[in-house]
Structure 1
């Protein structure tokens, strides 16, 4: 009885209570993070909806909920881990040790490379540390989405290769477990990382890509611009805008630069053209103020030109958000932005909807690369002889390079119209999932993989 009590009461804490300690800590940390991040995200969404009257509101309102899910992912993972069996927990621990090293190493390498490229720009700013922190905080989701597949591949090959070399995989098989059952917890981890990448890809990773340039411009003392040379026409085609430069903080009242507005009559004939140095939109009264405007009036009696020294105020319903949207590139828009653009600008004469639709599908397809990486690397990491691991690593690197190539080429073909947007976005996933299933079949049936691939290239 004394021995049993000692096993269940280590360090004065019962085993059942100790097992609940980490999940409770992660639950508390997730709740604190969600209580801060979700209201802040809701405020940003509310401001965005006001500025974009034609937005697909439910797509934007989903953002705070997704932030909340990310906050509780560590807690959910810890509960799943505690509910797993002994062998599954051991496999996960071996894998997570390798994953922590690989992910940390790649993250540090990417961070040092980026800071080496940009540190000189940040040094030019008196707000160096503020902009530096903002830059990497905003960039974090995009960086995570980028390095996760590589980290998963390297750590899985390392962990499974180590377990194969020590005959632990063979021992598990002898207990009656199949290869698929052995790697099931790792596939589950790949699915979890794919869900996290999908959440980041929903808005925050594309947003990070769009903001990187503006933050660097701020560090150099250059006026931050979100878009340049933007053309826009309102829904009833009575006004056509051309804006030379739209500042990053236009939603806070920063003026649009070098504005030209063509006003059309009911017959779509040019009635008036207004050229102004700046155009400022007020969020309070929803009115436009044009500075130093020059007004060209076209009538049957002839053309008249009037230059005003004082600003002119107009109550046009357009907002800066609406004007800028056709000028935003698809790679910089998340799913809410792409959904709203497709709902309002499918027939816009100045933009190609194929590009926006391809990127909309790609936002959903790309995160599952993490899961496919697990499916590819798992059968290559499990070997039953000492010579097999090096060949498996070579094949995995070759397949990973092919996946990167295809994930670039297929979307390009979709944007150019050679493939449908859906096929272009999902073709890489379909192709390499099929390859992964073939590799799994050969590993389960005991057929060689590396030797077979090598024989193909030696023919």
Structure 2
């Protein structure tokens, strides 16, 4: 049995609280040091498995079937590493806690610690602290590294396969604006060249009734004045019953006090996987303004999932430590198998909850946070049982 080196108590009184502070600090360092190697092994193992199944096989198929250059495939694989690393970190956290705390139980160190008055909850603290640190690391990866890497990987693939992604949506730009849940304006442009919206029609509504129609050849966003400059058009003012024209006015140039949302909608071509939390939130607000309720809800669930996912590192640390502290003898291979079973269960619940959230069966918050909340409750219950 590995022994914890005893502190030098020559000048310490055992009744002095400082003695226990020193002892607990030694305990934390001992457990954190024991957790590091299994954690790094888990990162390597789960990263290799997920990268192979999630990207490598598909890239090899692209190389053989579509002629993707091998050099490009290698670059894309490298750019995919951060996203799969973000998935591997919580898995590795679970494996490390399961293996280390189970090993302490097999070697009767848990029994020794408990006989000295150290509770199971106190023994789980180092694992939870490491899980919290991994949570911050996972969040940083998902927010600052993964979106940019995924976007670059997508661009590389598109260029190599001669399927270059357009820098903007070049036709049929459609945007609806609401005020107090009532439709206030509809913006439609037939074409967009990256600068000018062409063949533009704008419908304005008052209390649900169509009151004005603007038809112009082109429109340009004026960033200085924060308005749209409309060129060569006609304005039609309608009667209260929207059946007859009250006035018709032609113009060479006028302005429209509408937000730049249609331009943002036309120039955003990234997927949610290629956006940070801030970018996803901005895009969600933009889509919400168009009235596309289903897509806006999907983005809202995805946004909450981006916030909730990193905390699964703490959940897995809690569950792994609690199971290890049960003092049931389990081999390392069984610990790895149990890790896979827990991971599979988590992702199954997560997929079902997200699907129900996007369908409107569950609330957006519950759909994204249910697996994390359930994990905390289960882990807390297991730790309570281990502490009895």
TM-score normalised by L of structure 2: 0.68
Residue 103 in 1 paired to residue 43 in 2? yes
Alignment of 1:44-123 (within 5 A): 85-113=25-53, 114-119=55-60, 121=62
Residue 240 in 1 paired to residue 188 in 2? yes
SS in 2 for 1:264: strand
Q: Is the 8 A contact 1:281 1:319 kept in 2?
A: no
In the alignment, the residues of structure 2 paired with residue 242 and residue 439 of structure 1 have an alpha-carbon distance, to the nearest angstrom, of 60
SS in 2 for 1:262: strand
Q: Is the 8 A contact 1:217 1:224 kept in 2?
A: yes
In the alignment, the residues of structure 2 paired with residue 315 and residue 344 of structure 1 have an alpha-carbon distance, to the nearest angstrom, of 22
SS in 2 for 1:85: helix
SS in 2 for 1:232: strand
Partner of 1:420: 363
Q: Is the 8 A contact 1:122 1:220 kept in 2?
A: no
SS in 2 for 1:417: coil
Alignment partner of 1:262 out of 200, 207, 218: 200
In the alignment, the residues of structure 1 paired with residue 254 and residue 78 of structure 2 have an alpha-carbon distance, to the nearest angstrom, of 39
Alignment partner of 1:437 out of 362, 367, 380: 380
SS in 1 for 2:367: helix
Deviations 1:333-374 (A, max 9, x none): 432123223444533223533223222222211111111011
Alignment partner of 2:321 out of 358, 378, 401: 378
User: Residues 151 and 265 (structure 1 numbering): CA distance in 2 closer, same or farther, change over 3 Å?
Assistant: closer
Residue 356 in 1 paired to residue 283 in 2? no
Alignment partner of 2:159 out of 207, 218, 221: 218
In the alignment, the residues of structure 2 paired with residue 382 and residue 183 of structure 1 have an alpha-carbon distance, to the nearest angstrom, of 8
Whose helix fraction is larger, Structure 1's or Structure 2's?
A: 1
User: Residues 314 and 189 (structure 1 numbering): CA distance in 2 closer, same or farther, change over 3 Å?
Assistant: farther
Q: Provide structure 1 residue ranges, at least 5 long, that are not aligned to the other structure.
A: 1-82, 245-254, 289-294, 301-312, 446-459
Q: What's the RMSD between the two structures over aligned residues?
A: 4.6
Residue 369 in 1 paired to residue 369 in 2? no
SS in 1 for 2:188: strand
SS in 1 for 2:290: coil
Deviations 1:138-196 (A, max 9, x none): 43332122111222222222222333323333333333322222221111010111122
Deviations 1:210-267 (A, max 9, x none): 55433311222321246767743276846413569xxxxxxxxxx559x864323666
Point out which structure has higher relative CO (alpha carbons under 8 A, 6+ apart): 2
Residue 148 in 1 paired to residue 86 in 2? no
Partner of 2:128: 187
User: Residues 320 and 116 (structure 1 numbering): CA distance in 2 closer, same or farther, change over 3 Å?
Assistant: farther
Partner of 1:177: 118
Alignment partner of 1:339 out of 277, 281, 284: 281
Q: Is the 8 A contact 2:201 2:215 kept in 1?
A: yes
In the alignment, the residues of structure 2 paired with residue 98 and residue 125 of structure 1 have an alpha-carbon distance, to the nearest angstrom, of 37
In the alignment, the residues of structure 2 paired with residue 438 and residue 395 of structure 1 have an alpha-carbon distance, to the nearest angstrom, of 18
Q: Is the 8 A contact 1:227 1:328 kept in 2?
A: no
Q: Provide structure 2 residue ranges, at least 5 long, that are not aligned to the other structure.
A: 1-22, 178-183, 205-209, 237-243, 245-252
Q: Is the 8 A contact 2:354 2:368 kept in 1?
A: yes
SS in 1 for 2:289: coil
Work out the number of aligned pairs and report it.
Answer: 336
User: Residues 366 and 230 (structure 1 numbering): CA distance in 2 closer, same or farther, change over 3 Å?
Assistant: farther
User: Residues 412 and 116 (structure 1 numbering): CA distance in 2 closer, same or farther, change over 3 Å?
Assistant: closer
Alignment partner of 1:139 out of 56, 80, 101: 80
Whose strand fraction is larger, Structure 1's or Structure 2's?
A: 2
Partner of 1:75: none
Residue 161 in 1 paired to residue 95 in 2? no
My pick for the range that moved more, 144-153 or 391-400, is 391-400
In the alignment, the residues of structure 1 paired with residue 217 and residue 92 of structure 2 have an alpha-carbon distance, to the nearest angstrom, of 55
Deviation of the 1:375 alpha carbon: 0.9
